[in-house]
Amino acid sequence: MFSLPKNVTLIEVGPRDGLQNEKNNIPTEVKLSFIQALHDAGIKEMELTSFVSPKWVPQMKDAQEIVQRVRKNGRQLVLTPNKKGIHAAINAGAESLAVFVGVSDTFNQKNINCSTSESVTALRPLIQQVKQDGHYVRACISTAFHCPYEGFIRPEQTVALCRQFVEMGVDELSVADTDGMANPLASHSLFSNLKTQFPEVLITAHFHDTRKMGIANIYASLQAGVDRFDTSAGGLGGCPFSPGATGNVATEDVLYLLQSLHIETGIDLTGICLAVDEVAPYLSRPIETAMYQLYKREQLERKE
């Protein structure tokens, strides 16, 4: 008989991963209101923004302003792809950094124009230095299950890449089903292995809901002992370098699952829906997640 965690941490990635591929330009003030509403709902860990080239990801061009103006609350992560991004983030005042590498060489080449091994080699001294300087470091492992260009990834490839980052001294591994091809058996197997291999590091599961398997994969990962999940309010998201990948699994839908299992998060589901209200009018597509739609119907019924 398996046992489930009593408490789970949700790392909100909506402001960064959720908005990075949004076609409409989202005003900085709207992003800040969105972030504050998520904090008000009880979110204690969040990806705020990304220090990437505005040429490639124009939505993140206000990264410095976001970091400097946001109210400090809990762990606030920023994505930093390289030395330039890391230095820009630290100069802006960021304390918690996220680096990312794809298990797949092809994905990595399309994403940051170098191979996986080249990325690891370049990041090693940077990670060691920022750790010495007292920063929190999260390693985001992309294409951990499947690559849109290379197909399915062997689990031992993912574990081997994770091991290299553990040896560098990262605090956390965020292991991603980038294009939504994982299934519950694969999720349970990989995360059971990672929890066993690296007990000293925080292990976070990051699922996209491209094929509506996100909730099933989260339940399987809970059974494997995972108690940290990346989620995105409103199911926002998608990867500009992963054709066809849709949004992350929705924070509000995951909250409903966890509440139904009597797992504590400290996050208010209605508060998350209120946060989605802050950004929804500015998006290029409607929010169609189950719990947000239920929330909107209940609002209409109260008005009638």
Q: Which residues are catalytic?
A: 239
Tokens describing residue 246 = 């849709």
Q: Are strands 45-50 and 96-102 parallel, antiparallel or unpaired?
A: unpaired
Q: How many residues does the chain have?
A: 304
Task: Find out whether 131 and 106 touch, Cβ atoms under 8 Å.
Answer: no
- At what angle are helices 269-279 and 251-260 packed, to 10 degrees? 170
CA distance 172 to 175: 10
Residue type present at position 42: G
Task: Find out whether 170 and 137 touch, Cβ atoms under 8 Å.
Answer: yes
Tokens describing residue 63 = 């990264």
CA distance 180 to 186: 12
Task: Find out whether 19 and 50 touch, Cβ atoms under 8 Å.
Answer: no
CA distance 7 to 9: 7
Is the Cα dihedral 67, 59, 249, 30 positive or negative? positive
